[in-house]
Every structure is written in C-alpha cells, then in structure tokens.
Chains A and B, each alone.
Chain A
C-alpha cells in the first residue's frame, strides 16, 4: 500500500506548472537597483503628484533602517535588492481606448491564462483589471461600474484622478513603516488596483485582478486599496501567475481594505505564482502584507485564499476589528509541494465591542515542503464580548515534509470567548481502503479526500474561482500521494 502510494505521490508531484510560458513583449524598464533617484523616476514616469513622491521617499528612508524579518519558519536566502528591476512596463500605447488596441501578444497571454478579458466578460460577469509586470494593462467593465458610482481602476490612475481618496486612505491600514516588505512596497510600488464602493451600493459584479510577472529580473510590487463606504458590498478576486525561470523573483505586495459602517468586503485570492521546479530551483518569493480595517460598526471583512504557488510565501491577511459588532473571517488552503515553503496565517485584532472572528486554515504539505500556520488572536482590554474560533488543520502527504502551527492568543479581556483547535494527520489508510474497496483508485481517492478536506474553504470562493482552485489543487498535488 505504502509503495503504491509513494509511486502515485511521486507522479503527482511531477505535475508541471502549466502557466510557465513567457510572453515576448517589449518592456520599458528602469535599470536594476534601488536608490532615491529610481523612486523619483518611478514617480515621474507615472506622473504622480508631489504628495505621492513624498510618501514613497519617506517609506524608502524608513526601509533603509529596517532589517528583513528573521522570525518566520522559513529558510530565507539573502535577497540582493540592488539586483532587481523595480519598474518594468509593457511598451504599449499610453492610453487604450478599446480592447482592439491591446497588444495582441499581451492579449494572447491573458487568453492563455483564461482571463475573460473580452466578450467573456459579459458571460462571466467579472470586471477585470490586469496587471502585468507592475503596470495595469486594462480594466474592463468600467462604464457599467461607473453608472453606480463605483470606481475600479488602476491605482496609478486613481492617484492622478482621485488624489483626495488616495490621500485619505492610502497607508491608513498598512502604514509605510509597518514592516520590512511593506516599507519596500510603499517606496517602489508601481501599480495595482483601486476600488471604491460608494454609500449603499452593492457591487453587481465580482471585481477581479490578474497579476502576472513576465519580464526577467523584475520584482513586482503591486498595491491594492479597497474602500467600501457605509452599507456597501463588494466581492473582489485576485489571481496570480508567473513564467518559469531559474532565478527567484520577488513579489512584495500590499492590500489594504477599509470597511465603513455595515459594509462588507469579501476578498478572494488564488495564488499560483511559479513555485520553482522539482528541485526547488527558481520560483517566486511572495511577501505580502494584507490587512483589512473594519472601521465602522457591523462591518465585515472576509479573506479567502488558496495558496498553491510561490517558492516562499510569507503572508498574513489580517482583520482589525475596530467597529463594534464587526466581524472578520479567514479561510485558507495552503498547499506546498517539492521544496516550497509557506509561513502563512492571519491576525485577528479585536478592538471594538461584540466583535467576532473565525479562522479556518487547512494546510497540506507534500514532497519536501514546509508549511506553517502562524496566527494571532488579540483581544484588547476594551473589546467586550469578543468571540473567536480558530481551527487549523494540517495534512501531511509524505514523510519528508513538515507541517507546523504557531498560534498566539493574547487575551486581555475576561468577557472574551476564544477557542483554538488544531490537528495534524495524514490521510488514513482506512479512508483510502474504503475508496479502493468501492473501485476508486488510490490517486482519485486521495484527490477526493483532499477535496473533502478543503471543502470548507473552497465553498467560500465564488463559483468560477472555486472550480479553478479545485483544479489547481489537483494539478499541484499530482504525483504527491502517499
């Protein structure tokens, strides 16, 4: 039984990364390296107002005083920040008036990715903002959204056209000096998405961004800002891919969400950056700071993530529950295979009264990967009647991988009810036997069991994403049954 499983496991882990193509598009890039001039140049090229340049420079100066974090359970190689291109834009016409004007190569790229950039947009009902090598290429569905007063555009455009909103909210949840990678991002971020949902508006479609790193030696530093005013609702999706390369590429993003009174924001991620090859060569370093602020009473922020890619993932989507009765949710599936490393989890900071949070984390490790859950639940002294339930399970597929759990509970209020549960196990031989007995072969059985194991999280994803996520899990797991 075991050898059989090992064989299938080995086959599954051999699954190739199918998004590993490279698009040959002319790139307009700055030379490698980082200094104040590079930052000024980025800001100039993007035609930013003065306050943004100040914001960037301040972040950069602070970053110089900081050190890369050592606490994650990761083997983190030294990163040479001078060996990275901080700005790479596809060379195309500065303004696109219709989809026909999109560079055909670029369009082919997105077609390969299966992004419904054109006609499909109607069918899928998804408004897409595609970011390639740091620059937002095309935003669809804009007019439809504009009718409702929703702003969905690239962040560069927002900086130019809605400076007041940017001034008010940018950096208000993740301050530029928050952590090492956040400071770096604040200094050099090139593009990303901006979403603004006005009072009382329920966004009729799901908003979506696709991120792709294409050019060699580039780092991608995107920045997403979502503001949901009173009584509004939005569901936002994010997907990421990158070509296969031998060297590691850096991705350091920031996502900020602000939910005002009774607003609800649902943020879903399917992260599938190139994870490196079977021997752990290449792959993306994914260092992301994601944080949502439930500012208003009764507001709600929900994070759902399916993490299958990246050589190293360092990511803790968090909720600051400031408004009374606000709630935060975190659903996560993190799958690591081969030599991938993930240190991911969430922080739930309870500040307001009667706040609730829910954490469901499912880790799956295979091959020689290391998968850690790291989470903080903090109840401040004034947060009366806070309620938290956390469940983080780990599934081990193979005897060379590791699954770790590092929860932190800091409780300063006696009315809090906090529960944390974690289990670690492998797929039971009895479960496989049960399936085999009914004519299901071992590989399918493992797929079934894993899918059942993550169902709780996948169910949170919007339909199209759920299908994609399920497929992704299968591909990532191919050959890793054991």
Chain B
C-alpha cells in the first residue's frame, strides 16, 4: 500500500466536482460493489446537495457552512508505525472487549481476533468487499436513504472503508465489540466512513462505538452505518462521542429489524463541535422492539441535533425513546422524534420523551416530538419538557449542608442517570457513569483519552 497520505485539497470547489475530478482514483482503489452505486449517488447528490435548514428534517441545523471550505480527503489508509495503544488510551479503560481501531475512516487494526467466538467476522469493509462481494452486495445501500438524503448520497459517493460486523446464526457474543474511531490529521479533513452490521437469526451482540479526535484540526465526519437485525436477534449499539469543538459530525444509523428482534441504541454526546445523529429504526417484523436513547451534555458553543425516526411498518411492535440534554453556556440542541405508525400496524405501542435542562440564558433548545399515525388500535404518547433544576430539590440539598455547586452537579447527574441506567452492560455503565460525573465536574477534557498530548500537559494549545 502506498505509504503517503494523498490528499485532495478542497480548493473551495463543490463536492460533486471534487468527486468527479478524483473519481478514477476513488474507484480504482475500491471494489465493484461499492463503485456500483456511485453514479446514482452522484445524481442524487446533485439534486439534493447538503441539506440546508430549509429542509424540514434539518430545520434546526444548517450544515452547509460546515461542508464548505478547504479540507482534504485521505485516499489511503493513514500509515502509522507503532501500536495504537501507544498513542491512545480508551475512556472506558477497564472494559474487557474486542477492540478495533478506525483511523480517519479507515480500518486500522484490532487487538486480536482470538477473542471472538467462531464464525464472527469483524473487520474492514473495504477488505470484505474484495473477499466476499456477494455478502456486501446483499446489504450495501439496502436501507440507508442514499437516494433521498443528500448526506447519505455524499457518503455513498466517497465511501471506501469503515468497519463491518457479522454475527452468524445463533451466536451470542458475550464480550462487547468496541470500535474506536480516531481522527488524526495535520490539515482539515473530511471522512465518509461506511459501516455495516449484520446480525443473523438468534444472534446477539453489543457494539460500542467511541468517537475521538487526537489532533486539533477541523474535521468533517459524515458516517453512515447500516444495520440488519434478523428474527430473534438482539443488537445493543452505544455511541460515545467525545470530540473537540472543531468537529462536525453527522452520524447516520439505519437499522432494519425483523420479527422478535430487539435493538437498543444509545447516543451519548459528551463533547463535540456540531453533531447530528440520525437514528432510524424500521420495525419490519411483528413483535420487533426498538429502543432509542440519547444523552447530550453540551457547553461552550456546541450544538447537537438528534433526529430519530421509528417506523412501525407492521402490527404488534414496541418502541421507546428517551432523549435528555443538559445545556450550558451558549450551547444549543435540537431534538426531533418522529414516530410513524403505518396503516394496519395495529397494536402498536410507541413512547417518546425528550427532557431538557437549560442552565444559562444563552442556551437554546428546539424540540419536535412528532407522531404520525394511520392505525387506530395503538397506544402512542410523546412528551417534551424544558426547564431548570428543581428549586425545591436544590433547597433540600442546600438545607442539608451541601454547597450549591455540589448540589447542582448532583441534580444534573441524577437527571442524566435515567439515560445511563438504560445501558445494560455493567462495566460499561459504570465507566460511562463516572465519565458523565467527570464531565459535570469539568474534569473531563478530550485530552483525557489522548496519551500523546496528555503527556505534554494542559499547556498544549493544540488541544482545543
């Protein structure tokens, strides 16, 4: 493999032109199954473009400015000598997991596949597309809306690598599978990582995706993850976002669920610049259960937009959503929860809640809990609240000698815990619990996870 990182500098030209100019290079280094969709994706992108806030689904986040300007693309996997563990230590330190590392959207290494049960495949999507193209073809582009969402179209144009997880029939993976996404670059960088998760019948897996930035440059991340969960399978998907303020991340998760399947997603945003999470669960088989949870703790000028869409396409399914946010300083957040109950999807139960705490005058929240219901025998509810810390609770704590700062942290922590307790993996929950507590105490900065600059001390201005 070519050792140099070849970059295409944006020169402020449109992304479609950029793609067309470098199409040959992209296609030559990729596989047929991925190349097959590029032409149509380009056509869709030319039509749709990067969504502005005129697009209803993106009303509260205008991504256009973040996707313009100069940035580079890495054409090849970045080349490091040395082990990942030397430059990076995980937030979730004591977690005994099978771990893979992704650098700038490219699969890098893992910590030993001997840890995985037989038949389970975890690795690079680019490699899989070469080795087992029929498998990739079966799933690639099958549920992400790459013809109707400009960002997914953009990803499909440029996509070359990412991770894949394939759990065969009946296999239960006890250990969590951890994916560490690292962004490390000396110039502004855009990545279009494409991931695939396939769970066959009766299988079970827990996936933890951690997003980190290790250098201070501007990053634009446009991830798409497609998930396929077969009957009776169970997927727990946790996404821990801890990135610096110059990051723009769009993370799309699109999951198809068959009968009796169970999917739980949990998006934990501890630190980011501008974030957008698209969580789409399609309940396509009876008795499928979808759970979408999220927690966003924001300060400074951070912005997070959680967009969820739960599609009840068939009868007798269940869904539950809970998103909670604490907004400090000038932080802004948006939440959209869309529940669709299709005609004849009778006996649907769907619940949705969004609670927000505003801590300062400048914090801002836009919430849209929506129901679209075409069947009558359903139980659906949604609720949204915006408020402050309960004065009575505060008084209670203060009257018992707890000082104001401590009481505030306690109450915020209690507020957030409702989402944390949904994590069913004990060590992970414990770790995240302490991370959130550190985050509230202001002890967690993004250097925490970075051995390199962590050693340089806090005087390092390259750490934003």
On A, residues with C-beta under 8 Å from B are: 71, 73, 381, 394, 396-426, 482
Contacts and interface: CB of A to CB of B under 8 A. Distances in A.
A425 B379 contact: yes
A407 to B, nearest CB: 6
A407 B360 CA distance: 24
B366 A411 contact: yes
- Chain A CB count within 10 A is highest, among B56, B359, B372, for B372
B380 A423 contact: yes
Interface string B368-387: 11111111111111111111
Given A399-B344, A406-B368, A422-B382, 19 more contacts: A396-B376, A397-B376, A402-B372, A404-B370, A404-B371, A405-B370, A405-B371, A409-B384, A411-B358, A411-B365, A411-B366, A416-B358, A416-B387, A419-B384, A420-B383, A420-B385, A421-B383, A422-B371, A424-B371
Contacts, number: 112
A444 B346 CA distance: 25
8 contacts: A397-B376, A399-B346, A406-B370, A411-B356, A418-B387, A421-B383, A423-B380, A425-B379
B367 to A, nearest CB: 4
B381 A408 contact: no
B377 A399 contact: yes
Contact of A402 (B56, B367, B374): B374
B456 interface: no
Contact of A414 (B366, B369, B388): B388
A393 to B, nearest CB: 9
Contacts of B386: 409, 411, 416-418
Contacts of B361: 381, 413-414
Given A408-B368, A414-B360, A422-B382, A400 B387 contact: no
Interface of B: 56, 343-344, 346, 356, 358-361, 363-388
Contact of A417 (B365, B367, B381, B387): B387
A402 B342 CA distance: 9
Nearest to B360: A414
Contacts of A396: 373, 375-376, 378
Contacts of A419: 383-385
A205 to B, nearest CB: 41
A347 to B, nearest CB: 14
Contacts of B369: 405, 407, 420, 422
A417 to B, nearest CB: 5
A231 B50 CA distance: 52
B361 to A, nearest CB: 6
A73 B370 CA distance: 12
B372 A400 contact: no
A73 B374 CA distance: 13
Nearest to B355: A419
A73 B379 CA distance: 21
A398 B387 contact: no
Given A396-B376, A417-B386, A422-B382, A411 B364 contact: yes
B273 to A, nearest CB: 21
Contacts of B368: 406-409
Given A414-B363, A417-B387, A419-B385, A424 B358 contact: no
Contacts of B371: 394, 403-405, 422, 424
B190 to A, nearest CB: 31
A402 B369 CA distance: 17
A403 B359 CA distance: 35
A425 B343 CA distance: 15
Contacts of A415: 388
A400 B381 contact: no
Contacts of B364: 411-412
A396 B379 CA distance: 11
B371 to A, nearest CB: 4
B464 to A, nearest CB: 25
A425 B382 CA distance: 12
A240 B133 CA distance: 65
A414 B380 CA distance: 29
A414 B358 contact: yes
A329 B366 CA distance: 21
B370 A407 contact: yes
A400 B388 CA distance: 42
Contact of A409 (B344, B360, B366): B366
Contacts of A424: 371, 373, 378-381
B148 to A, nearest CB: 16
Given A396-B378, A399-B377, A408 B366 contact: yes
Contacts of A400: 343
A396 B356 CA distance: 30
Nearest to B370: A406
B366 A418 contact: no
- Chain B CB count within 10 A is highest, among A402, A403, A409, A421, for A409
Given A418-B385, A421-B383, A424-B381, A398 B373 contact: no
A418 B356 CA distance: 10
The 8 closest A-B pairs by CB, nearest first: A414-B358, A396-B376, A418-B386, A409-B367, A405-B371, A424-B380, A402-B374, A420-B384
Contacts of A381: 361
A414 B378 contact: no
Contacts of B366: 408-411
Given A414-B361, A414-B388, A404 B383 contact: no
A403 B376 CA distance: 9
A324 to B, nearest CB: 18
A397 B373 CA distance: 12
A426 B373 contact: no
A403 to B, nearest CB: 5
A43 B56 CA distance: 39
A413 B362 CA distance: 7
Nearest to A399: B376
A405 B380 CA distance: 11
B271 to A, nearest CB: 21
Nearest to B387: A417
A111 B158 CA distance: 72
A396 B346 CA distance: 12
Contacts of B343: 399-400
A467 B213 CA distance: 66
A423 B361 CA distance: 31
